[in-house]
Amino acid sequence: KRGVGGEGPSLPLPPWHVWGCWCATPVWCFSRLEEHAGGGACAELLSEEPVPLADCCLNPAYGYKLRPQGHCHTCRSGAWGPWGPWTGCSVTCGEGTQRRGRSRSPTGDEDRRGWELRACHLPCCPEPGGWTSWSPWGSCSVTCGAGTQRRGRACADPAPSCGGGLRPRGARGNPPAPAVGGSWGPWGPWGSCSGSCRGSGQSPSRSRSRRCDSPPPSLEPPGAACTGAGTETEPCPGLPPCPEDGAWGAWSEATPCSVTCGLGVVRLRRACDAPPPRHGGRGCPGNSTQRALCGPHGPCPVVHWGPWGSWTPCEQRPWGAMSCQAMVGRQRRTRQCVGHRAGGPPCPTEDGIGTIQLRACYNIHHCLLPGNWSDWSPWGLCTPPCGASPTRKRIRECRPTYPAFPLTVTSVGSPTPINVTFWGSPRPRCPLLDGQHLRVEEERPCLHVLPCPAPHERLLPL
């Protein structure tokens, strides 16, 4: 089902589609990918109905799902999709592990999943306490007639920890608990009314509830349940008469297709004016706009900036390198516009930066500098994420103390200050730490490791 725009011409598929039968796989197609702290997601669904994978991925910037609630994949050939959410911790208390995965767009390789494993910590595990032995009987409270004697014991064998109570019934010296009857807690707030106005038929009402939890009846031995009703209902007070609701008018004509390549959408609009809401009536339910697919219009050109190359050495012509001195030099780096063809769309500029980037610099490459030891880094991920005995590491590094050179300068004839950055890899000098000059590393095993995913989960996208 294509929607507005028709079937479109029969066009050759991008090269990465030829590896298997995934071209005709029905998918849910999205025009935007989002990254966030908890993982990644597809956004802006093109159609409520699935479309062939080949049609969706005519535009490499799109994403897709194999099922509505499934994992989000990218259409860009050979690119990793966004990370999925972390699994729950492998333990309910103490230290365990959790894993997350992401998929690689179809390339013909068998393994198209990546995994990460990390440690997780939950509050300490409750441990119940136990009774000590009874103490000897004490002296009688009287010297003649009927009196009493006392003896005692303590919940200290062992003492409860982390919120634990007594050990289960049957532990040494633990008497049976008495039955506890339930009592009602306070009434909760009144809920919403079942209607917003008074009209013909049944009058709208509202209700509130309470719970038998102050305390709840004991389970062993069974305690008596609360008596009376747990809910209460009454007519809604002060409701106005029912107003007249609005109704939708006819749909407008479709807008032009949103794209000239791949799949796009058209939009239709309608107004709540047949009739409009009156006398405080409700507006029309549903959406005032509707989207439908258009295209496909053929593959989209992949035009994007490649990565920046390395910075050239920091030099000052005609003197060349000026290492370890407060002399301002210049350096540059370049990048390429990937996929650009003559007459085709160019790469977009970012803040006026095209293929060349320049900056002012101080050359501190291989300079001897005083250093200080950093704090411990956060613990890294558990590696290997799917293998035997994963471990995690943290490090401390000897970091250089940079010279107090000016970080901004002004050039002749221009009052605008220019930022200056340090370039190069200096050689810091720190006092010995655990017998090391530059780096100290600590490693520990990951506990309660989750089992590795099944083979079919590793080979196929979610």
Asked whether the predicted pLDDT for residue 6 surpasses 50, the reply is no
Query: Residue 423: which pLDDT band, with cuts at 50, 70 and 90?
Result: very high
Q: How far apart are CA 425 and CA 324, in angstroms?
A: 11
Mean pLDDT across the chain, nearest whole number?
Answer: 80
pLDDT tens digits along 155-168? 877 877 776 666 55
Asked, for residue 430, whether it belongs to a domain, the answer is yes
Residue 183 has, within 13 A of its CA and on its CB side, a CA count of 5
Indicate the residue among 82, 106, 122 that finishes a domain. 122
Residue 25: pLDDT above 60? yes
Whether pLDDT at 459 is above 50: no
Residue 439 has pLDDT above 70, yes or no: yes
For residue 289, the cross-strand partners are 269
Summarised one tens digit per residue, pLDDT across range 104-145 is 765 434 345 678 888 887 777 777 778 888 888 888 877 887
Give the rounded distance of the alpha carbon of 147 from its chain centre. Answer: 70
Partners of 409 in the β-ladder: 418
Average pLDDT of span 86-98? 81
Please, are residues 293 and 279 in contact by the beta-carbon 8 Å criterion? no
- Does this model's pTM top 0.75? My answer is no
**pLDDT-based confidence at 320, cuts 50/70/90?**
low
Local confidence band at 444 (pLDDT 50, 70, 90 cut-offs): very high
Q: How far is the CA of 52 from the CAs of 25, 166, 406, in angstroms?
A: 5, 61, 59
Query: Does 176 or 48 have the greater pLDDT score?
Result: 48
Query: Is residue 376 assigned to a domain?
Result: yes
* Of the ranges 19-23, 290-294, 309-313, the best mean pLDDT one: 309-313
Look at residue 44 and tell me if it is in a domain. Answer: yes
Whether 406 is covered by a domain: the verdict is: yes
For the chain, the domain total comes to 2
Average pLDDT of 88-92?
Answer: 79
- What is the per-residue pLDDT for 400? 95
Residue 37 counted as domain residue: yes
The 10s digit of each residue's pLDDT in 372-413 is 999 999 999 999 988 888 999 999 999 999 999 999 998 777
Instruction: Report whether pLDDT(458) > 50.
Output: no
Q: For 336-368, how does the pLDDT look when each residue is reduced to its tens digit (9 = 90+)?
A: 888 777 767 778 777 667 889 999 999 999 999
Domain around 59: 15-122
Residue 193: inside a domain = no
Q: How does 218-236 read in b/e, with b if 16+ C-beta sit within 10 Å?
A: eeeeeeeebeeeeeeeeeb
Higher-confidence residue of 435 and 169: namely 435
**pLDDT above 80 (res 331):** yes
CB 250 within 8 A of CB 222: no
Q: Which of 136, 135, 132 is nearest to 154 (CA)?
A: 132
Section 276-303 average pLDDT: 83
Residue 73 within any structural domain of the chain: yes
Mean pLDDT of 220-238: 83
Please tell me the predicted confidence (pLDDT) of residue 199. 66
Exposure of 388 by Cβ count < 10 A (0-12 exposed, 13-18 middle, 19+ buried)? exposed
Report d(CA 40, CA 83) in Å as an integer. Answer: 5
> Does residue 426 lie within any of the structural domains?
yes
**Euclidean distance between the first and the last CA atom of the chain, given in angstroms as a whole number:** 24
Q: Which of 122, 149, 180 is the last residue before a domain boundary?
A: 122
